[in-house]
Amino acid sequence: MQSPPLQIAIIDMYDGSPNIGMRCIHTIVNKWSKDKQFAMELTTFRLRDQGEIPNDHFDIYISTGGPGSPIDSAKEDWDITYTNWLEKMIQLQKPVFLICHSFQIACRHFELGTVGLRKSMQIGILPVHPLTEDSLFNQLQDPFYALESRYYQITAPNDEKIKQMGAKIIALEKIRPQVPLERAIMAVQFSEKMYGVQFHPEADPAELFEYFNEASTKQIVVDAFGIEKWEQIMNHLLDPNTIDTTFSNFIPNFLDKAIAG
């Protein structure tokens, strides 16, 4: 008898704004299911603009990045719905993967560190340093490279809350000996089956190359950061040993862990 399709829920946190992240997630999950020869069904829930949230009958959950402040929304209905859902997922030990904005809200809600604005926006293909052995990092180097696009960061880990929750910080941002600032938290294992990351492991280098090569996007980057930053991004996107490795392995590693459990 054929097994029922694997049910995967994607929580769209983009608030109706244009994005390529959702398309990249679909690409990764569809390829993974094909490679594993799993029948699979994807269902998308638009939380911020439509108030949709998945029930607890799905096998795997992925919650996207998105625009805006992870602090100012704390009293909004959708945010309360979301944090209640996070609590339920922890209690039920459901496999959940949180990306960027979703990760920031989870860190804020569980009080695992200080959520605040960076001194300036971070954008680029940047190194991330794992802190522990975990199959999530299979096939990745130390450091591995990932797309960062963020105004906010998590610093000053709350060791008491982390211990109480049974959570673990599993990655930090790039080493910057010349900058006298604390390195931001880049990944957390919230529970046995819930993981979150500050970066964008779903970023497809081919999609990003087209995006950053658009005249309007290039001009925005050059105006804000200079031509050297844009050239650095483009060079990294052409290097098969940087972001392509992360795109090909990170979320598939999480999916492997989810079904193994």
What pLDDT, in 10s, does the model give residues 66-103? Answer: 999 999 999 999 999 999 999 999 999 999 999 999 99
What is the value of pTM for the model shown? Answer: 0.95
d(CA 21, CA 38): 23
106-137 pLDDT, tens digit per residue, is 999 999 999 999 988 889 999 999 999 999 99
Q: Which domains are assigned to the chain?
A: 6-117+152-204+244-260 (3.40.50.880)
Q: How confident is the model at residue 180 (pLDDT cuts 50, 70, 90)?
A: low
Burial state string for 153-182 with b = 16 or more CB within 10 A and e = fewer than 16: bbeebbeeebeebebbbbbbbbeeeeeeee
Query: In this model, does residue 205 exceed pLDDT 60?
Result: yes
Interhelix angle 243-260/205-213, nearest 10 degrees: 140
Residue 1 has pLDDT above 60, yes or no: no
Edge-first strand listing for the sheet containing 185-189: 40-46, 6-12, 60-63, 96-99, 194-197, 185-189, 168-173, 114-130, 144-155
pLDDT tens-digit map of 31-42: 999 999 999 999
Residue 126 structure tokens: 């940047």
Mean pLDDT of 139-143: 96
Helix axes 77-92, 101-109, angle to 10 degrees: 80
Mean pLDDT across 232-252: 94
Type of residue numbered 128: V
